[in-house]
Structure 1
Amino acid sequence: MKTDTIFYSLFKTFPGIFFELIGYSASEADAYQFSSVEIKQTAFRIDGLFLPSTDTPNHPIYFIEVQFQRDTKFYSRLFAEIFLYLHQYQPTSSWRAVVIYPSRNLDIGQQEDYRELLTSQRVRRIYLNEFDEEAKQSLGVKTVALVVEA
């Protein structure tokens, strides 16, 4: 998707923007390397992956999915991607998933099969149109807003 490519380029070039989106300092990006990975033996592709640097192994891995269209199979695919990655790479770090939506109406909501994951601290859903005025002052958030408006 076009937005996936834009967000990949944005996070690759300005990784601090991602951490601003989730409420952390942009400098947190210094402890990570960003990439997009293809998981072998399937056609799954994770939109983005922040892996902690070797000197910060206690930081979590961040799986990023940018979802700009309604998809009833989205969460099954998201968790399949994550768990297949965990199976294949056997990372020692904990993990978090961040799903970025332009607005809440594209989120298919709680699905019973994934309720525990969706209500846990592991999964965070961000709705770009719901940022408060203080968050909107961040250069990173403003940059992402431009992508949404385009």
Structure 2
Amino acid sequence: MKTDSIFYRLFKTFPRIFFELIGQPNIDISNYQFASVELKQTSFRIDGVFVPVPDSADRTVYFAEVQFQPDATFYRRFFSEIFLYLRQNPSVNLWRAVVIYPTGSIETSDVIPYQALFSSNEVQRIYLDRLPEAGSTSLGLRIVRLIVEREESAVTSARELISQTRQQVTDEATRREILELIETILLYKFTRLTREEIRQMFTFTESEFKQSRLYQSIKEEGLEEGKLEGKLEAVPRLLALGLSVAQIGEALDLTAEQVQQAAQNQSS
């Protein structure tokens, strides 16, 4: 799974989730901008930094690092990047470093040089498998948990998340963003799902699903072919996601008979 890109998209779109994750849900997120920071005269780039916006009342800089692969020298690189950033930005006095691991087993044992930092308030390590159970957490933290959820329970969790999103999120654009994020996590997580399993998970309403990236990509693949064959090849994938014959015909400019024939050919 491309966990880095998922987390950075998550923090970019819904920065409140990061502050909930580190136990500071009351921070005013309007005071921060999530960015990727390049360090001058080096090859270093810090991918995830919450930088206070100009004139913000909160002056703490947050360095967020997602570490899902073993790296024996990770802390030597990470802390060197942070202190180089502090050297190049002398106005920064307050900072916190947050490292997100899927489990403790990923963490390197090379920690002795940094014990003082680990004992301070400046460094926080988060292990996703140790987050509170879903029933006692917010929608944002439940989405984070889904990334490391066991396959046998992830389908149920995703279905509950979709239902919770529809009930709690009233803004249509925000609701669509969250549903697409859940969709992305599932697509990366379950690359070998059967069509029936996919149909069960992607329980969007018709209007929400038609605006999703998954629907648009399948539709565009068929239309870009420019021929009837390309459109017909897209039919089974759309059927597997729960769309009706009429909806597919409208999307791909096909008759009901053509859609039904493509479905029959797939099953034969």
Normalised by the size of structure 2, how large is the TM-score?
Answer: 0.52
Number of aligned residues: 150
The structure whose Rg is larger is 2
2:133 is aligned to 133
CA distance in 1, matches of 2:74, 2:36: 18
Could you say what secondary structure the match of 2:24 adopts? coil
Report sequence identity in percent: 53
The two structures, once aligned, show a CA RMSD in angstroms of 2.1
Change (3 A) 1:73 1:13: same
Using the TM superposition, give the Cα deviation of residue 148 of structure 1 relative to its aligned residue in structure 2, in angstroms: 3.0
CA distance in 2, matches of 1:85, 1:145: 31
2:92 is aligned to 92
Using the TM superposition, give the Cα deviation of residue 8 of structure 1 relative to its aligned residue in structure 2, in angstroms: 1.1
CA distance in 1, matches of 2:85, 2:148: 29
Using the TM superposition, give the Cα deviation of residue 79 of structure 1 relative to its aligned residue in structure 2, in angstroms: 0.5
Alignment of 1:15-54 (within 5 A): 15-25=15-25, 28-54=28-54
- Is 1:105–2:105 an aligned residue pair? yes
1:115 is aligned to 115
Using the TM superposition, give the Cα deviation of residue 76 of structure 1 relative to its aligned residue in structure 2, in angstroms: 0.4
Could you say what secondary structure the match of 1:36 adopts? strand
CA distance in 1, matches of 2:115, 2:21: 23
What letter matches 2:113 in structure 1?
D
Using the TM superposition, give the Cα deviation of residue 147 of structure 1 relative to its aligned residue in structure 2, in angstroms: 2.7
The gaps in structure 1 that reach 5 residues or longer are none
CA distance in 2, matches of 1:5, 1:26: 26
Alignment of 1:134-149 (within 5 A): 137-149=137-149
Greater RCO (CA < 8 Å, at least 6 residues apart): 1
What letter matches 2:54 in structure 1?
T
1:12 is aligned to 12
| Consecutive aligned runs of 4 or more in structure 1 exceeding 4 Å deviation | none
Change (3 A) 1:145 1:131: same
Could you say what secondary structure the match of 2:88 adopts? helix
Which stretch shifts more, 10-19 or 58-67?
Answer: 58-67
1:73 is aligned to 73
The gaps in structure 2 that reach 5 residues or longer are 150-188, 190-268
What letter matches 1:19 in structure 2?
F
Change (3 A) 1:135 1:64: farther
Change (3 A) 1:146 1:132: closer
Using the TM superposition, give the Cα deviation of residue 136 of structure 1 relative to its aligned residue in structure 2, in angstroms: 5.2
Alignment of 1:56-71 (within 5 A): 56-71=56-71
Indicate if the aligned counterparts of 1:15 and 1:26 stay in contact, CA closer than 8 A: no
CA distance in 2, matches of 1:119, 1:110: 15
Using the TM superposition, give the Cα deviation of residue 137 of structure 1 relative to its aligned residue in structure 2, in angstroms: 2.3
Could you say what secondary structure the match of 1:42 adopts? coil
1:55 is aligned to 55
CA distance in 2, matches of 1:5, 1:136: 27
Indicate if the aligned counterparts of 2:31 and 2:58 stay in contact, CA closer than 8 A: no
Using the TM superposition, give the Cα deviation of residue 59 of structure 1 relative to its aligned residue in structure 2, in angstroms: 3.4
Indicate if the aligned counterparts of 1:100 and 1:125 stay in contact, CA closer than 8 A: yes
